[in-house]
Amino acid sequence: MEEQRMDPDALAKAFVEHYYSTFDTNRVGLANLYQDGSMLSFEGQKIQGSRDIVAKLTSLPFQQCQHSITTVDCQPSGVNAGMLVFVSGNLQLAGEQHALKFSQMFHLIPTPQGSYYVLNDIFRLNYA
Amino acid sequence: MEEQRMDPDALAKAFVEHYYSTFDTNRVGLANLYQDGSMLSFEGQKIQGSRDIVAKLTSLPFQQCQHSITTVDCQPSGVNAGMLVFVSGNLQLAGEQHALKFSQMFHLIPTPQGSYYVLNDIFRLNYA
């Protein structure tokens, strides 16, 4: 993510595409997007720090998955040029007949290097 | 909302109950929860400022509705003791047979008076 001069909506969309394509093809690669102070709430479980967050994401009980994004909203978070990104979409797990609906929000904070990291990440499946 | 000494999860839950009970019984009363710098994204439409946000919410094409909350997640937003609150639930409109599923996030910022206001609000229906 080195797209700081893009407009916020384009930046949010680029982040979302990068995040989910990394999730779907190389989950370990998500480590670069989190820092020690990052927090993930995954289906109600709170996990802090890049290492533990990626340990959680790589231990999920499925090998292959594919995210399809339905909506992306973004707003400035009012802090240090941070940005709130709100996503809804579908998650298809390998071998499962039906996709799962999900919603997820990210709070992105710029880094001194001109990219962004995820300070806050909240994920929920939307059960029918 | 004058519950600053509650723990964050209890505070988030109290906010959510207050917000949706106000929405369902007295939508105009939501004006107190927003300020001039507040932003609402409602189904992709961005609206800024308490007055325009409440004008939008009160102009929605239904009179009576009832929110039922399924999940509430919260995290500190890293700014001025701010808090991110992520909600999923169902929205029942008067006269409609089926409830609509929704997800919504709020970024709450403390006020000098010891309560909180909504800086960011993003709402999406989750269509089946």
Geometric angle at alpha carbon B51, from B45 and B53, rounded to 5°: 25
Mutation test of the interface with chain A: which of B9, B35, B73, choosing the one with the most A Cβ atoms within 10 A?
B73
What's the N-to-C CA distance of chain B in angstroms? 34
Contacts of B78 in chain A (CB under 8 A): 37, 79, 82, 107, 109, 119-120
Mutation test of the interface with chain A: which of B13, B105, B119, choosing the one with the most A Cβ atoms within 10 A?
B105
CATH-assigned architecture of domain A8-125: Roll (3.10)
ipTM reported for the complex surpasses 0.95? no
Which amino acid is located at B13 in the chain? K
pLDDT in tens, A69-120: 999 999 999 877 899 999 999 999 988 889 999 999 999 999 999 899 999 9
Contacts of A101 in chain B (CB under 8 A): 126, 128
pLDDT in tens, B97-123: 899 999 999 999 999 998 999 999 999
Interface contact B122-A88, CB threshold 8 A: no
Backbone Cα Rg of chain A: 14
